[in-house]
């Protein structure tokens, strides 16, 4: 993931618009390219999609995926939906928060790790589920999570 680049972000917005994508599609492309949607994208998004600032922010805030600040070098997204909660998802989230010292939606001060919620990854029969650096992980437990966290430090 690269840092924010205003010129490139405008190109991404224009390309997605020309390809027929919706505002949501452009936001997805920005997150895929930069990891987040920077405040600097507001004006080009508003102009390109003929939407007000409130409308753009409404779409951004509706979807968990459209974060508005740069993520850490590693991102752990823990499923918070019902099926995962039924098999220990809450306890796993609590463990992750205690182990990392981070709340959900928080990035460590050194930029190494972001902890985020996610709502169902389609792995409901194999929870607790998570996305770790974009890779789905089923039946995650505290020990396996600790191993991943240790691996991030190396």
At residue 94, φ and ψ (nearest 5 deg) are -60, -45
Bond preceding residue 103 cis, omega within 30 of 0: no
Tokens 């930029």 locate to 111
Site string for ligand FES, 72-91 (x = CB under 6 A): -------x-xxxx-------
How many amino acids of this chain bind ligand FES (CB under 6 A)?
A: 12
Closest CA to 117 of 152, 77, 69, 153: 77
Cβ nearer to ligand FES, comparing 25 with 88? 88
Distance in Å, CB of 154 to ligand FES, minimum: 28
Distance in Å, CB of 83 to ligand FES, minimum: 4
Query: Interface residues for ligand FES in 103-132 (CB under 6 A)?
Result: 120-124, 127, 129
Q: What share of the chain is helix, strand, coil (3-state, %, to 5)?
A: 50, 15, 35
Distance in Å, CB of 93 to ligand FES, minimum: 11
Closest CA to 42 of 64, 21, 22, 27: 27
* Chain residues in the site for ligand FES (CB under 6 A): 79, 81-84, 120-124, 127, 129
């Amino acid at each position: 993931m690269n840092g924010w680049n205003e010129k490139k972000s405008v190109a991404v917005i224009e390309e997605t618009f020309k390809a027929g994508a919706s505002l949501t599609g452009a936001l997805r492309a920005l997150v895929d390219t930069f990891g987040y949607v920077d405040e600097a994208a507001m004006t080009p998004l508003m102009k390109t999609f003929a939407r007000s600032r409130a409308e753009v922010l409404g779409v951004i805030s509706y979807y968990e995926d459209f974060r508005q600040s740069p993520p850490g070098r590693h991102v752990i997204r823990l499923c918070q939906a019902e099926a995962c909660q039924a098999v220990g998802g809450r306890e796993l989230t609590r463990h992750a928060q205690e182990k990392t010292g981070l709340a959900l939606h928080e990035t460590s001060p050194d930029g190494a790790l972001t902890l985020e919620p996610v709502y169902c990854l389609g792995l409901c029969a194999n929870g607790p589920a998570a996305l770790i650096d974009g890779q789905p992980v089923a039946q995650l437990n505290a020990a396996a999570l600790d191993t991943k966290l240790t691996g991030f430090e190396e």
